[in-house]
């Protein structure tokens, strides 16, 4: 027994190092010390097994979606943006492992609001110190109406010496069975440590009772720092106007109406006429007036065993609302077919697809002219071609200014498609899309140059249609007529043949006129095939450039947009509705 007492005393001393500030020790007088002995939670018997908290299907689905959302977003959003969502997931997991048969309710209020007095009135014993000395409550004090709540109180960081039981015992007040009531320090305390206790525990409890008094119910600190940010938690919130015994006549109703007006301005839904929302009551903890109504409302609230899940759901709502700017957009995001086609057209212009098609068409016509032209014209063209690039080959861009112009066109095309793809996206995702496009643009001009050289016209002459041999034969016949006519005339001039100018002249004229006529006819007939040949060369180069741009730029951009659509779907599940 002595060893156990020493261990118990040592544990208390270790706890005192953390929590005791010298004020809690003065919470009772010698006269009430004996009365408080049965109220202290027994340490000899361990806590009874408690059923873990179970979340319903919709809440589990929302938590799973939030977890998936955080996982998909870690590479795109900074840790500070996701910190609140991560905290909600951690707290939801931690609360789920603890008792679902208990409801942890904190009593919070400003200095002098009488929250500790209300705490004592509900517990039926002077557990928490009251008085005119400020601040009075220096550390959180917990009172449990049933067994099995030790792990919940451990989660709040409240040491064993500050845990109590109501004076009636665990089964003396069945109306509040399952309640764990926590008296918090003043939220407006001059001691920083007290305010830290309040902020920390308010993030862990299942519900909160805000105690206000006729003098400070409109305090800006209360509304701006606590009530307004917690507006979404109205269903797990009680707002109690205390000290109504100090108000004369109908002043209580007037102050209560003004309090409801302020709560409405804070965005807090009021649970009136059976609607979900905060419960607003007026009472006097000193005289007991209205305490029974609060006890009844609190008992019904605890008996539902739904406060913890509603608190987690409200936390998810708050985290999702905070994340809305980085997920929601008012316009449809993505790459339109028009933007894709324009990007492909810009790349085709950069590689000179149109010029390549025109060059292919000219090469086809030139080849037709060589095959079907007169020998004399072919000789002249052969002389000219000696100083020109080989027929059928695309001239490579070699001038620095032309290369710079092509590079600028490619960069402009990438910027344009990135701007269109990221238009309307939240800033982090728009930046990710632009970065993906910029990474794909690295080396794209060089790849397009290599592509143009590899996808250009094949070496040698363009293919010939089936009618070309006939045209060549006809042109050869015209040449033979010219030669025969010329030799005939030469023979007559030198006297070898009898004079007869009509036939040789006629043969020469027929050959001279027929040769250009055949060439002109072939040129007319070659326009259609030449045009198709040039269009095919242009199409092939355009498709190659579009494929290169799609693989290097459009596909990475589409991957980022797909990731964004995935996180939007998860965000919609977190919100429990569609996101515009």
Q: What is the pLDDT of residue 349?
A: 85
What is the structure's pLDDT at 130?
Answer: 56
Q: Do residues 54 and 101 lie in contact, with contact meaning Cβ atoms separated by under 8 Å?
A: no
So what's the pLDDT on residue 348? 85
Q: What is the pLDDT of residues 323-333, one digit of tens each?
A: 998 888 766 77
Gap between the Cα atoms of 54 and 64, Å rounded: 14
Rounded to whole angstroms, how far apart are CA atoms 80 and 87?
11
Measure the CA–CA gap between 382 and 1, rounded to whole angstroms. Answer: 120
Instruction: Report the distance separating Cα 70 and Cα 92, nearest Å.
Output: 15
- Residue 30, pLDDT score: 33
Per-residue model confidence (pLDDT) at position 136:
56
Q: Which residue has the tokens 């008296």?
A: 183
For 527, phi and psi rounded to 5 degrees? Answer: -65, -45
435-477 pLDDT, tens digit each: 999 998 888 888 887 777 776 555 556 666 666 677 777 777 7
Measured between alpha carbons, how far is 97 from 54 in angstroms, rounded to an integer?
9
Neighbours of 105 (CB within 10 A): 22
User: Cβ of 180: how many Cβ atoms within 10 Å?
Assistant: 27
Q: Which three-class secondary structure string do you get for 423-450?
A: CCCCHHHHHHHHHHHHHHHCCHHHHHHH
Phi and psi at 394, nearest 5°, equal -80, 130
Evaluate whether 369 touches 361 at the Cβ level (below 8 Å).
no
Partnered with residue 381 across adjacent β-strands are: none
Q: Which residues pair with 282 in a beta bridge?
A: 241
Q: What is the pLDDT of residue 45?
A: 39
Check: CATH 3.40.50.300 for 103-304? Answer: yes
Residue ranges covered by each domain of the chain: 103-304, 337-575
- The pLDDT profile of the chain, 580 residues, written as one tens digit per residue, is 444 434 443 444 333 333 333 333 333 333 333 333 334 443 333 444 568 888 989 999 999 999 999 998 888 888 899 999 999 999 999 999 999 999 999 999 999 899 989 999 998 777 666 544 444 567 899 999 988 899 999 999 999 889 888 866 555 568 899 999 999 998 888 888 888 989 999 999 999 999 999 998 999 999 999 999 999 999 999 999 999 999 998 899 999 999 999 999 999 999 877 788 999 999 999 999 999 999 999 999 999 999 999 999 999 999 999 999 888 876 677 788 888 989 888 888 888 888 878 887 787 777 776 666 666 666 666 676 666 555 444 444 445 556 667 788 888 889 999 988 988 888 888 999 999 999 988 888 888 877 777 765 555 566 666 666 777 777 777 778 777 777 777 877 787 777 777 777 787 777 777 777 777 777 777 777 778 888 888 888 888 888 888 999 999 999 999 999 889 999 999 998 654 4
Which residues make Cβ contacts (< 8 Å) with residue 59, sequence separation at least 6? 309, 312, 313, 316
Indicate if the alpha-carbon torsion angle 486, 492, 496, 497 is positive or negative. Answer: positive
Contact 260, 270 (CB under 8 A): yes
- Dihedral sign computed on CA atoms, order 196, 199, 204, 206: positive
Burial of 135 (0-12, 13-18, 19+ CB in 10 A): middle
Q: What angle do CA 353, 354, 359 make, to 5 degrees?
A: 95
213-216 CB contacts, 8 Å cutoff, 24+ apart: 213/109, 213/110, 213/112, 213/113, 213/114, 213/241, 213/242, 213/243, 214/241, 214/243, 214/244, 214/246, 214/247, 214/251, 214/255, 215/112, 216/110, 216/112, 216/113
Residue whose structure tokens are 């993906």 = 436
Number of continuous H segments (helices) and E segments (strands) in the chain: 20, 7
Cα–Cα nearest to 67, from 531, 574, 458: 574
């Amino acid at each position: 027994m002595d060893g156990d007492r020493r261990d118990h005393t040592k544990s208390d001393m270790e706890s005192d190092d953390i929590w005791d500030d010298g004020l809690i020790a003065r919470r009772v007088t010698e006269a009430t010390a004996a009365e408080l002995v049965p109220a202290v939670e027994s340490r000899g018997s361990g806590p009874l097994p408690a059923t873990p908290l179970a979340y319903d299907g919709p809440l589990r689905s929302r938590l799973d979606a939030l977890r998936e959302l955080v996982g998909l977003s870690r590479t795109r959003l900074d840790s500070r943006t996701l910190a609140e969502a991560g905290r909600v997931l951690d707290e939801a997991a931690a609360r789920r492992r603890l008792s679902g048969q208990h409801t942890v309710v904190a009593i919070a209020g400003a200095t002098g609001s009488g929250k500790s007095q209300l705490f004592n009135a509900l517990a039926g014993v002077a557990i928490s110190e009251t008085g005119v000395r400020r601040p009075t409550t220096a550390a959180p004090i917990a009172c449990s109406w049933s067994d099995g709540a030790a792990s919940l109180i451990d989660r709040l960081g409240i040491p064993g010496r500050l845990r109590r039981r109501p004076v009636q015992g665990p089964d003396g007040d069945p109306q509040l069975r399952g309640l764990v009531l926590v008296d918090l320090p003043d939220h407006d305390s001059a001691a920083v440590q007290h305010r830290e206790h309040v902020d920390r525990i308010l993030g862990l409890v299942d519900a909160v009772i805000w105690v206000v008094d006729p003098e400070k119910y409109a305090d800006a600190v209360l509304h701006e720092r606590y009530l307004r940010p917690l507006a979404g938690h109205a269903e797990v919130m009680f707002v109690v106007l205390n000290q109504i015994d100090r108000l004369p006549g109908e002043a209580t109703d007037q102050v209560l109406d003004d309090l409801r007006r302020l709560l409405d301005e804070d965005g807090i839904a009021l649970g009136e006429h059976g609607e979900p929302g905060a419960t607003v009551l007026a009472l006097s903890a000193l005289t007991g007036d209205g305490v029974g109504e609060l006890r009844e409302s609190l008992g019904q609230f605890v008996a539902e065993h739904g406060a913890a899940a509603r608190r987690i759901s409200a936390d998810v709502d708050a985290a999702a609302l905070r994340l809305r700017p980085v997920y929601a957009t008012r316009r449809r995001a993505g790459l339109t077919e028009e933007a894709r086609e324009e990007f492909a057209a810009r790349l085709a212009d950069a590689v000179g697809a149109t010029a390549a098609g025109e060059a292919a068409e000219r090469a086809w016509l030139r080849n037709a002219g060589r095959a079907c032209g007169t020998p004399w014209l072919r000789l002249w063209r052969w002389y000219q071609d000696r100083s020109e690039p080989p027929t059928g080959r695309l001239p490579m861009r070699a001038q620095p200014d032309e290369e710079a112009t092509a590079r600028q066109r490619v960069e402009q095309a990438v910027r344009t498609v990135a701007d269109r793809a990221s238009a309307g996206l939240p800033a982090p995702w728009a930046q990710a899309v632009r970065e993906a496009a910029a990474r794909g643009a690295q080396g794209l001009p060089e790849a397009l140059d290599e592509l143009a050289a590899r996808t250009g016209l094949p070496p040698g002459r363009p293919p010939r249609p089936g009618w070309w041999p006939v045209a060549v034969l006809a042109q050869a016949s015209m040449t033979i007529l010219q030669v025969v006519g010329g030799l005939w005339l030469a023979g007559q001039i030198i006297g070898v043949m009898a004079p007869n100018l009509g036939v040789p002249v006629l043969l020469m004229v027929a050959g001279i006129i027929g040769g250009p006529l055949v060439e002109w006819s072939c040129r007319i007939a070659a326009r259609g095939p030449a045009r198709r040949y040039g269009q095919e060369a242009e199409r092939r180069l355009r498709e190659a450039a579009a494929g290169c741009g799609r693989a290097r730029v459009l596909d990475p951009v589409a991957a980022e947009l797909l990731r964004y659509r995935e996180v939007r779907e998860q965000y919609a599940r977190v919100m429990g509705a569609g996101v515009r």
